[in-house]
Structure 1
Amino acid sequence: MNTLRIRRMIAKVFLFLFLFLFLFLFLGLACVASWPHVTRARTHQHEATDTKSRSEENCYDPHDSNEIRLWDGVAPGAAGNDPCRDIPFLRIFPGRTSENSAHVAIIVIPGGGYDRLSDRKEQEPVADYFSRELGVTAFVLYYRLVQRDGTYHYPVPMWDAQRALKLVRHRSSQFGIDPSKIGLFGFSAGGHLAATVALHAASDFDLPTRDGIDSVNANPNFLGLGYPVISMLPDQYASPNSLKHLLDGYDGREKARLEPYLSAQLNVPPGLSPVFLFESMDDKQISAENSVMFARALREAGISAEVHLFPHGVHGAGLATGIPDEEEWPGMFRRWLVERGFVH
């Protein structure tokens, strides 16, 4: 009897151990199977955080002394006061200063198709290079972008870009800048914006409100362009995205008027300041014919221009570091500025 009882107890112990081992293995496998999902969830969460932080870099921060609002109050045409959407501003990158001379300023205008400023390669890296290597005071312009409902389409980006130039010239003594040595350098759609402001400097683009700064000369002293959008004519290599966004809401006769007016190849004025332009002939986003047409128009108008059409390059590359051919442009631009007496 005692032997039977002992055997039953041993059987129960083995059964208990078997059930415990089974549950342990089952739960362990379930946890292992869930690890990739947990990892992916954490990765997606991290990516979302990174995306948010990248977006916030384009937002105005009133506590950052290096950021300058274009208007002290509400900007003309503003739909609100959102620092990430409604407040255009400049971010300054101070250059080397000397005791007895003021120096050059370059306003960098990044691209993005007029509805975004997503490519950081055209923002801080370029401005930092201009400031550090050329010794100029550089500014990055964060202009208002066209929203999904059409808010901030033409002419709002032009108001912001022209105001940036006038503001820098108006406050040139504060920044230690020679007011006769202020240039624009625009990339892609930002190149279109820079060219439009330079070519139509006599216009205020029907700015609805004005103050003392708006009476300042709006002519840049030089114009730099990197793989620019030039044309707004659909049958002359217009960028579909830039055209769609900038002229969102326009149609009929008014759109037909604006397309040629905003096509730089058709609007080169006499006496335009010197131009530096680079483009790659294998540009896969914006047809290189934009730059070819503009170079031809500059030559026909007798405008001083240095144009570099590289066999190879990458659209949106900014300084193009490590990209054969195109990576030569920063050094070429520096020599161009030296030859014209802007930098030493």
Structure 2
Amino acid sequence: MRNDSSHRDDTHLFIKKKEADIQIFSTMLTPKRNNTEIIFTLLGLSSDLQPFLFGIFLLIYICTLMGNAMIIMTVTFESRLHSPMYLFLRSLSVTEIAYISVTVPRMLRDFLHKDKDISLLGCATQLYFFCFLGTTECFILAVMAYDRCVAIAHPLHYMNIINKSKCLKLLFGSWLAGMLLSLGQISFVFSLPFCESNIIDHFFCDILPVVRLACADTSANMITILIYSSFVIQLPFLLIIVSYVHILTTVFRIPTAHGRNKAFSTCGSHLTSVSLFFGTATITYLRTNKANESPKIWSLLYTVLIPMLNPLIYSLRNTEFKIALRRLIKNR
């Protein structure tokens, strides 16, 4: 009897041990909820007019691609436009095409699908390129202001100061600054732990809505976002203001009204573009404490409308560019 009882006890222990092993094994196979498996949901532009909005934004996207491609091809194939000013403009157009392509295709896709989920990697990638290209555009606009400042204040030495080598270095520095600064910021953001509620009230993965989803203290992130925004928005804007102070000082010294108007005409397009881009970006990113205000409207301005308007601003107001464009169309 003892042997039977001992045998039953041993069998019972053996079964228990196997059940424990199976439990451990199944736990290992069960996916754990960590940052690599988090799925975000983009609410997008909530509206009953989804097909109508799809058509509107598709038209805007096509116009933006065509307008900026027109600038790129005209500057590339017309040797008379191979001056630093137009090389900077071509680089700005390349940036605009990439910039709008980060957000609008995803938004168009969401207009036609009920499933608006985006993976953590997809969200991080979108946010990185959005910050990278936006930062690059800020620095390119600052470089363009410096170019106009030298052209007006030092016209006789312009080609020596802003030569082709200097032009390429300034452009390379703008792209490199955008790439590295954004990489550090996005790495810091996506090192945060995220909570169960991962609904982003936006049409793309913007930095402030993403940070607010973290289930941890984000005060340090908010401070770094403020510093980052000040550096990539306010610093280039300050450089632009300094450049235009020098421009205005020089222009007011020109004795004739015709000379002053001619000098101002080379800056009008750039000044319009700067006012639109930096104005909307400043309102959005330097108000980090306004958690309850939706940034969607302001975001639409600088992510969608301004890239579409820039080709019109620079081409319609520039006689030299219009002549080169007609010549290019005629020759082709």
What is the TM-score when the length of structure 1 is the normalising length? Answer: 0.32
Tell me which protein shows more strand as a share of its residues. Answer: 1
Flag the structure with more relative contact order, 1 or 2, with Cα contacts below 8 A and sequence separation at least 6: 2
Name the structure with the higher helix share: 2
TM-score (norm 2): 0.33
